[in-house]
Amino acid sequence: MTLLDFLPALLGGLLIGAASVLLLGGIGRIAGISGITFALLDRPNWNGANLWRVAFVVGLLAAGWSWSHWSGQPMAPNREANWPLLTLGGLVVGWGTSLGSGCTSGHGVCGLGRLSLRSLAAVATFMATGALTVFVMRHVLAA
């Protein structure tokens, strides 16, 4: 692979960063996807103040739909789905990002952008356990 192969990744990253700056500058909110989404699960907060969160999630869904629609291809991974593993992974991601107050967007893109040590600690931790998990799955268990 050449450096040019990573141009879409870099440009996509710039767009993600620009979106995060737009949300903070526009309405004063951190673009943390787990925080925005899971706040919708808190029943007492279900009022007009959540409208921006609903709008953000709708935009995210519309982005995936429009991208696959315009490219004419479903954006699905080329692998045999392991449904129990996907269920377990989803559960743990939900529990962990709720407990740790953030994911790759909130702690990663926004927290690091704010030069937050707390977010840096979170990012270092989930990168490490993520890499360790893949190592165990692929090279120890060879699942």
Total residues at interface with other proteins (CB under 8 A): 114
Q: Show contacts with other proteins in window 86-125 (CB under 8 A).
A: 86-105, 107-118, 121-123, 125
Residue keyed to tokens 């969160």: 53
Integer angstrom CA distances of residue 12 from 1, 34, 47, 113, 132 = 18, 20, 33, 16, 26
Burial of 98 (0-12, 13-18, 19+ CB in 10 A): middle
Rg of the chain on CA atoms, in Å:
17
Q: Cβ of residue 70: shortest distance to other proteins, in angstroms?
A: 10
Q: Show contacts with other proteins in window 52-91 (CB under 8 A).
A: 52-53, 55-68, 73-79, 81, 83, 85-91
Q: Cβ of residue 110: shortest distance to other proteins, in angstroms?
A: 6
Q: Cβ of residue 40: shortest distance to other proteins, in angstroms?
A: 9
Q: Cβ of residue 2: shortest distance to other proteins, in angstroms?
A: 12
Nearest to 23 by CA among 34, 10, 36: 36
Q: Show contacts with other proteins in window 6-45 (CB under 8 A).
A: 6, 8-31, 33-35, 37-39, 41-42, 44-45
